[in-house]
Amino acid sequence: MNIDLSRRGFLRLAGAGVAATSLGALGFGEAEAAEAAHVRAFKLATTTETRNTCPYCSVACGIIMYSKGDVKAGEKAELLHIEGDVDHPTNRGTLCPKGAALKDFVHAPTRLTQPRVRRPGSDRFEEISWDEALDGIARAIKDDRDENFIAKNDAGVTVNRWTTAGFLAASATTNETAWLTYKTVRSMGIVGFDNQARV
């Protein structure tokens, strides 16, 4: 959700107005212009504000993200700042030490940016393309499922399960990711399926 005129932007304009008016009243016309010229634009004034929720615990505090660029407009957007959302009924603008440092998670040096593979016995990851990775994974799924799928149990009852593969789903992803994951995993007959509910 993007807001046309951010609160920060509003404050900057209002502040500059006050400075100009009071200096003008004192008869410093030129100084007024000089003053206005060197008031540094507030950093967040030109940013896009986006509403999100903290991805850590289940309090799900509202946050406002400030970015240079607008994702909705198809622009490249760089996250500059995160703060608590004062409109949110649960946290009312506050954040804990984890939420307050969220930006560093987004920009962590250990963020992954490239598909990689570690070959059997190797001591390093190698960069690979998405196509290579996804084709490799699809082939591994197909081959193992075809080899180990249990259509009927020993008593001849149809059971259609696949137990030699398992999937741990992420409890910080969206419902929408979870539903698509559910469809994919269940359609294959995987029963070793779990999430962080227990840990």
Partner 1 sequence: MTNAWTDIKNTDLVVVMGGNAAEAHPCGFKWVTEAKAHRGAKLIVVDPRYTRTASVADYYAPIRPGSDIAFLMGAIRWCMENDKVQWEYVKNFTNAALLVKDEFGWNDGLFTGYDEEKRDFDKSSWDYQIGDDGYALTDPTLQNPRCVWQLLKKHVDVYTPEFVENITGTPRDKFLTICEMIGECSAPDRTMTSMYALGWTQHSKGGQNIRGMAMLQLILGNIGVRGGGMNALRGHSNIQGLTDLGLMSNLIPGYLNIPTEKEPDWQTYMSTRDFKPLQPNQTSYWQNYSKFMVSFLKAMWGDAATAENDWAFEYLPKLDVPSYDILRMFELMDQGRVNLYFCQGFNPMLSFPHRGKITTALSKLKTLVTMDPLETETSNFWQNHGIHNDVDTASIQTQVFQLPTTCFAEDEGALVNSGRWLQWHWAGATPPGQAKHDTWIMAQIFQRVRKLYQEEGGAFPDPIVNLTWNYEDPNEPTPEELAREMNGKALSAVYDTADDTKVVAEAGKQLSGFGQLRDDGSTMAGCWIFSGSWTEEGNMMARRDNSDPDDTGMFLNWSFAWPANRRILYNRASADMQGKPWDPSRKLIEWTGEKWEGYDVPDISPTAKPSEVGPFIMNQEGVSRLFTRGMMRDGPFPTHMEPFESPMANVFNPKMRGNPVARIFESDAARLGTSDEFPFVATSYRLTEHFHYWTKHNVVNAALQPEFFVEISEELAAERGIKKGGRVRVWGKRGEVWAKAVVTKRLRPLICDGKPVHVVGIPLHWGFMGAAKKGFGPNSLTPFVGDANTDTPEFKAFLVNIEPAAEEPVA
Residue list 11-70, contact with partner 1 (CB under 8 A): 48-62, 65-67, 69
Site for partner 1 in 95-124 (CB under 8 A): 95-99, 101-102, 104-106, 108-123
Using rule CB under 8 A, residue 175 touches partner 1:
yes
Residue 196 CB partners (closer than 8 Å, separation 6+): 170, 171
Here's the x/- map for partner 1, 78-97, by CB under 8 A: it reads as xx--x----xxxxx--xxxx
Using rule CB under 8 A, residue 173 touches partner 1:
yes
Using rule CB under 8 A, residue 1 touches partner 1:
yes
* 3-11, 19-27, 30-38, 185-193 -> range binding partner 1 (CB under 8 A): 185-193
User: Using CA of residue 120, residue 124, residue 127, residue 133, what is the dihedral sign?
Assistant: positive
Site for partner 1 in 125-154 (CB under 8 A): 125, 130, 133-142, 144-146, 148-149, 151, 153
User: Using CA of residue 161, residue 167, residue 173, residue 177, what is the dihedral sign?
Assistant: negative
Alpha-carbon dihedral angle through residues 115, 52, 12, 86, given to the nearest 10 degrees: -150
Side-chain-side CA neighbours of 160 within 13 Å: the count stands at 5
How deeply is 21 buried, as exposed, middle or buried, from its count of CB atoms within 10 A (0-12, 13-18, 19+)? exposed
What is the smallest separation between the CB atom of 40 and partner 1, expressed in angstroms? 24
